[in-house]
A = this chain, B = another copy of it.
């Protein structure tokens, strides 16, 4: 605290991302990164950069990348917005659509950046409790009372809601924006991207950080009705004209074009996940049904999740733990390679 600090700074409790510890013997299962590198075509696109691409500003509107994404999803250029990771997409969308003096509804257990954005912009949060099985019940959101945002699948539970459930909510919730945060859509989770032209208030966010192995490049996407996308463009162009650099645009395009590669690594990750679920259950863990590249697992009996988290960390196996009500007996474990998952199991057994 400092006399120069504004109320904005002073009221913040910033988001804390998972630890980015590095080292060849670290098993990093704490930030839902893809264990496999991006497509060789992505590396080729980056390595073919020339100095004149770098000395010039990138296309501020990222037209080639947005058109590639539009074609991939059967949409138009004006349905697509790109930003510096899906966190920037969320930060701009909250500023664009939720600073309307109405309470914003989101699940009580959810992506922990949502309450941070509320603090940043002075938005009142209205946190909706989960069901006792940790699922999100969409009937608990009050239609039109204020904006609604939820991750699908949810974080950190990995549980999803159905497209039909989202359609039913959209049939009633027509006057405020519904933002569905689909960070795991590239891993085969349910996606409602195909509905954005049917509902003028539906905004869907994706990221290249998970399924597409590009967390290091910072690339996120929003899909929506052209008038919603236009609102995001207006806010972006009033904040930072060029958030997506030249190499991220080139890498994103190359990524979308190598569908075969990503289907192959996705299938491997899903197989590894199913094996990990079996292995954890054998060890007495309760594991929630996962539609993502991570699992949420409750430690057995009277064991302390905090203590297991520390022991794993000491052994170089990083997972995610939150010392919070409802979460403090659970660990969120990203799906790594089969070898990495075996190392995790070996440390759990020790």
Contact = CB atoms under 8 A, between A and B. Distances in A.
Interface stretch (A1-9, A132-140, A302-310): A1-9
Main secondary structure of the interface of A (DSSP, over half): loop
A37 B58 contact: no
A234 B119 CA distance: 12
A56 B215 contact: yes
A33 B57 contact: yes
A237 B14 contact: yes
B14 A234 contact: yes
Interface stretch (A74-82, A149-157, A188-196, A239-247): A239-247
A17 B57 contact: yes
A31 B12 CA distance: 36
Given A5-B231, A55-B215, A96-B9, A238 B87 contact: no
Size band of the interface chain A makes with B: 35 or more
Contacts of A31: 56-57
Contact of A54 (B4, B38, B91): B38
A222 to B, nearest CB: 14
A168 B212 CA distance: 53
B55 A6 contact: no
A85 interface: yes
A238 B119 contact: yes
Contacts of A50: 37, 43
19 contacts: A4-B227, A6-B96, A7-B99, A12-B238, A17-B57, A43-B50, A46-B54, A46-B247, A51-B213, A54-B213, A56-B216, A57-B209, A58-B215, A84-B84, A85-B240, A87-B242, A91-B239, A216-B247, A245-B245
Given A37-B54, A54-B216, 12 more contacts: A2-B227, A4-B201, A8-B96, A16-B237, A43-B51, A47-B47, A47-B49, A55-B213, A56-B216, A57-B215, A84-B243, A247-B247
A116 B88 CA distance: 19
Copies of this chain, tallied across the complex = 2
Contacts of A98: 6
Contacts of A251: 54
A206 interface: no
A57 B215 CA distance: 5
Q: Which of A34, A46, A214, A241 has the most CB atoms of chain B within a 10 A radius of its CB?
A: A241
A237 to B, nearest CB: 3
A54 B117 contact: no
A217 B116 CA distance: 28
Interface in A97-137: 97-100, 116-117, 119-120
Interface in A233-283: 233-235, 237-248, 251
A12 B54 contact: no
A298 interface: no
A95 interface: yes
B242 A54 contact: no
Contacts of A20: 56-60
Interface string A1-42: 011111111001011111010000000100101111110001
